[in-house]
Structure 1
Amino acid sequence: MKFRWTSVAWSIAYLLLLLSLSTPLLLITTLFMIIPAVVLFTTLNTKQFIVHVLPILLIVGLITPIYPVIAVYFLIPALVMGRFYKKRASAMSTLLAGTVTILGEFLLLLLLGTALFNFDLSSYVNDVLQMVTSPLSQLGTANPLISDLNFTSEDVNKISIMTIQMIPMTLIVSSFMIAVITHSIVRPILNSMEYAVPKLKPAREWRLPRSFIWYYLLGVIIQLLFSGSDSSYMTMISANLLPLLRIGFMIQAIGFFFFVAHERKWNKIIPILLAIPIILLPPLRIIGIIDLVFPLRAFVTKSKR
């Protein structure tokens, strides 16, 4: 009975989230859209899951025919992550599966938009930038004190190209963040429902493969060789590879601080305070690079003895 009423409550929450798509809250609720479906799929068998979800799709379909399509779009990663939870897969495997699925849907959406509706992402981004910068340029023309706000067509085109080049990284980071948010909320919920799932490794164990250093060097070489060249493909690789690796090095540095705090028996708040400068001052990611190249953690362990 406990699980039946809990499932009904999550079905209602799922319905409310789908209905929120017609409100200004959709930018926020979209981040949590996968959660109810993951909980339902993980805790119910397939037949029970269909019984709970099908009425929701029918209700939202009566309101707006496009809503069931959106619901199915979010159901796919929910089913994938739920399947991994049912198999008691590791937390990282579940996160990667969810990230890859969400990313694949993003790419499929772009592909279908281009193939079926002649959607041109480059033109769309350029048009949006023109719409945003036009009032600023007019304001700069009217007021000489802020003349730096003038944007020429060439400036807008350059910004547009840079934006397009950064889209792959944006999609990857967005997909990963949605998966992380989902896991962070779903895991304690499933635990409270006596359905234990593995948790992520503690922060002190966060470590990247050492091969990431070579990837970083490759990205730097590509950037040096093709900076300012006409090879947009190679420029796009470096524009996305390097920022992603830098984020990884920041995570490595944060993991190092938590490792030191654990070994030295520091207060738990200290590594959190040390992690803040890493996030706010990106050059400090060099600590993560050093930790990856040299056995810093082994030195900390030895010096402790």
Structure 2
Amino acid sequence: MNILKLSWKPLAWTGVYLLLILSLLTNLSIVTAFLLIVPVVVLFNILSIKGFLTHVIPVWLVALFIHPVYLLLALYFVIPAILMGRSYKKGAPAIRTIGVGTATILTEMLLLLFIGTVLFQFDLSGYMQDAVNLTMKPLQDMVANGTLPAEFVWSTEDMKLLMDMMMQKIPYALILSSFMMAVITHVIARPILSSMGYPVMKLKPAREWRFPRSLIWYYLLGVVIEMITLDSTSGYFTMISANLVPVLNIFFCIQAIGFFFFLAHHRKWHSIVPILIAIPILLFPPMAIIGIIDIAFPLRQLMTKPKG
């Protein structure tokens, strides 16, 4: 009975792992890709290295038998999963584990992009152009049929401008997606492992989220680069200006959310209040200014200073 009690959980997570892999070539891949690291992290923590390999290798063989692409995708996601799982086993702080996952996923993305471009002549610009054309084709057909006025179809110049903007934002998209994968993995895997008797360090409470003041200088540098490259359409500095400030805004939004959780804790507001405030902060990026002020000035001390 004890053997069965201990063994069914790894088998269940192995099944989840296989189902997630098989979903990667379906319409569900947009969602499941963000979840695929979770079962591997769980298996890596609850099993020995030998036990881990005993469970994942059969999954890889099944994936290979169905289609080699499944195996390649499985191997792609297993590397950040193992590194995050190893970080959990060492008892590393949660923010470090998320950083390890983010850096690993981002490195893999860049490596794949480099290999695809150099060895397989993959044209990312051409691929994105085809995607934009495919998106615009229904509108073009509706204009041709007289269903919509011609104003609904973009001109060639507008399409080129959109393509330039999309190409410049690729680093930001890669960083954001890598970060989201790592965060989602931690948010799901940590409570699962803790409930199974494998303690994993939590993130600090939201009210304690604070970033170093040096981010302000990076932000000012980004703003200056944006001003210098305002009329430019190409070049490395334009790429930096298109990505540095948006990436920093993510940190400032997190800082702003942390500030309102701090304020809610100090003023003893209902716990739902800072959560409701966090929604417009995420949906309306200019509210990141609150995070900038909180980093640059002692805003928390000023807001909580006793009157009189």
The bucket for the TM-score relative to the shorter chain is over 0.9
Contact 2:164 2:233 in 1 (8 A): no
Aligned equivalents of 1:83 and 1:156: distance in 2?
Answer: 46
**The 10-residue stretch of structure 1 (268-277 or 214-223) with the greater mean CA deviation from structure 2:** 268-277
Unaligned 5+ residue runs, structure 2?
A: none
User: TM-score, normalised on structure 2?
Assistant: 0.93
Partner of 2:171: 168
Aligned equivalents of 1:85 and 1:210: distance in 2?
Answer: 28
Aligned equivalents of 2:254 and 2:289: distance in 1?
Answer: 11
Partner of 1:59: 62
Partner of 2:33: helix, strand, or coil? helix
Distance of aligned partners of 1:17 and 1:145 in 2 relative to their CA distance in 1, 3 Å threshold: closer
Partner of 1:272: 275
What is the one-letter code of the residue matched to 2:284? L
Partner of 2:232: helix, strand, or coil? coil
Contact 1:264 1:304 in 2 (8 A): no
Aligned equivalents of 2:292 and 2:216: distance in 1?
Answer: 8
| 1:221 counterpart (221, 224, 246) | 224
**1:39-118 matches, cutoff 5 A:** 39-118=42-121
Please state how far the C-alpha of 1:5 moved relative to its aligned partner.
1.8
Deviations 1:142-165 (A, max 9, x none): 549632223222221111111010
Please state how far the C-alpha of 1:104 moved relative to its aligned partner.
0.7
Deviations 1:185-221 (A, max 9, x none): 1001100110001000111011111111111111111
Distance of aligned partners of 1:256 and 1:304 in 2 relative to their CA distance in 1, 3 Å threshold: farther
Please state how far the C-alpha of 1:284 moved relative to its aligned partner.
2.2
Partner of 2:254: helix, strand, or coil? helix
| 1:33 counterpart (16, 33, 36) | 36
Please state how far the C-alpha of 1:296 moved relative to its aligned partner.
1.2
Distance of aligned partners of 1:72 and 1:50 in 2 relative to their CA distance in 1, 3 Å threshold: same
**The 10-residue stretch of structure 1 (251-260 or 267-276) with the greater mean CA deviation from structure 2:** 267-276
Aligned equivalents of 1:22 and 1:132: distance in 2?
Answer: 20
Deviations 1:206-265 (A, max 9, x none): 111111111111111111111112542111111111111122211111111110111112
Distance of aligned partners of 1:190 and 1:115 in 2 relative to their CA distance in 1, 3 Å threshold: same
Aligned-residue CA RMSD in angstroms? 1.8
Partner of 1:210: 213
Partner of 1:183: 186
Aligned equivalents of 1:236 and 1:242: distance in 2?
Answer: 11
Aligned equivalents of 2:11 and 2:137: distance in 1?
Answer: 50
Aligned-pair identity (%): 55
What is the one-letter code of the residue matched to 1:297? R
Unaligned 5+ residue runs, structure 1?
A: none
What is the one-letter code of the residue matched to 1:149? F
Please state how far the C-alpha of 1:26 moved relative to its aligned partner.
2.1
Of Structure 1 and Structure 2, the greater helix share is in 1
User: TM-score, normalised on structure 1?
Assistant: 0.94
What is the one-letter code of the residue matched to 1:299? L
Contact 1:141 1:150 in 2 (8 A): no
Contact 1:216 1:242 in 2 (8 A): yes
Aligned equivalents of 2:252 and 2:187: distance in 1?
Answer: 22
Please state how far the C-alpha of 1:53 moved relative to its aligned partner.
1.0
What is the one-letter code of the residue matched to 1:291? D
Partner of 1:259: helix, strand, or coil? helix
Please state how far the C-alpha of 1:76 moved relative to its aligned partner.
0.5
Partner of 1:164: helix, strand, or coil? helix
Partner of 1:200: 203
Distance of aligned partners of 1:15 and 1:145 in 2 relative to their CA distance in 1, 3 Å threshold: closer
| 1:128 counterpart (123, 128, 131) | 131
Partner of 2:151: 148
Aligned equivalents of 1:233 and 1:144: distance in 2?
Answer: 42
Aligned equivalents of 1:212 and 1:97: distance in 2?
Answer: 20
Partner of 2:254: 251
Partner of 1:207: helix, strand, or coil? coil
Partner of 1:302: helix, strand, or coil? coil
Partner of 2:242: 239
Aligned equivalents of 1:145 and 1:10: distance in 2?
Answer: 51
Contact 1:18 1:33 in 2 (8 A): yes
| 1:297 counterpart (295, 300, 307) | 300
Contact 1:263 1:304 in 2 (8 A): no
Number of aligned residue pairs: 305
| Displaced runs of 4 or more, over 6 A | none
Partner of 1:31: helix, strand, or coil? coil
